Amino acid sequence: MAKSCCSFFLFITLLLQLNNPCSSLLEQVVTPPLPILPLPTYSQPKWKQREIILFLHFGVNTFSGKERGTGHENPSIFNPITLNITQWDNVAEEAEISLMILTAKNHNGFFLWPSKYTKHFFISSYWKNGKGDVVQEFVNAATHKGIDVGIYLSPWDRHDSRYGHDLLYNEYYLGQLQELLKK
Ligand SMILES: *[C@@H]1O[C@H](CO)[C@@H](O)[C@H](O)[C@H]1NC(C)=O
């Protein structure tokens, strides 16, 4: 009895498949060719399609007037009282720029955000009594305009004495990276 019952269901299933107009269509679907590896990641073609990006070098060098920082700049010279990041974003939007990168820390070791990993630099600048956060303002303004954000964090650090000591410096660097990735 069980055996004939099974054959009955098999028969019905076959009939349903034969009557299903989709089954013949499905057979005609051409299998796409296998991709040639390695496949690009999502961000790789996106990067290629970007026409112009903006890389902003802003920091203590802006005030020292030097292209290369030494790490011995006095943080008090960083005092951008008229800074208005909305203006950067307006320019970027007009120029149809899809990504803006900011030097959150250049090799001079000067931080553009109040990091708990450094007391000497940003915290001791006069701008907003050391409580300003250029990186956060930058991220907020760009996000508001729908512009992608890139953050530059120099591995070379001419200011911090831990630079050159692998374990100590890696910890210091990773700490900064974690703070930035939360912005
Ligand atoms: C910043 O600049 C924008 C565009 O010029 C202007 O609309 C805005 O009022 C400025 N903000 C401040 C605080 O000055």
pTM for the structure as a whole: 0.76
The alpha carbon of 84 and the centre of ligand 1 are apart by a number of angstroms equal to 6
Domain regions of the chain by residue span = 51-181
List the residue whose alpha carbon is closest to atom 14 of ligand 1. 84
pLDDT in tens, 56-107: 999 999 999 998 899 999 888 888 989 999 999 999 999 999 999 999 999 9
The span from the CA of 28 to the CA of 22, in Å, is: 10
Distance in angstroms (rounded) separating the CA atoms of residues 176 and 119: 13
Alpha carbon of 98 to ligand 1 centroid (Å): 21
pLDDT digits (tens, 9 = 90+) for 124-164: 677 888 778 999 999 999 999 999 999 999 999 999 999 99
Nearest ligand 1 atom to the CA of 90 is 4
**pLDDT score recorded for residue 4:** 47
What are the beta bridge partners of residue 153?
Answer: 105
Fold (topology level) of 51-181: TIM Barrel (3.20.20)
131, 140 contact by CB (below 8 A): no
Of all protein residues, the one whose alpha carbon is nearest to atom 1 of ligand 1 is 84
Residue 111's beta-bridge partner residues? Answer: 105
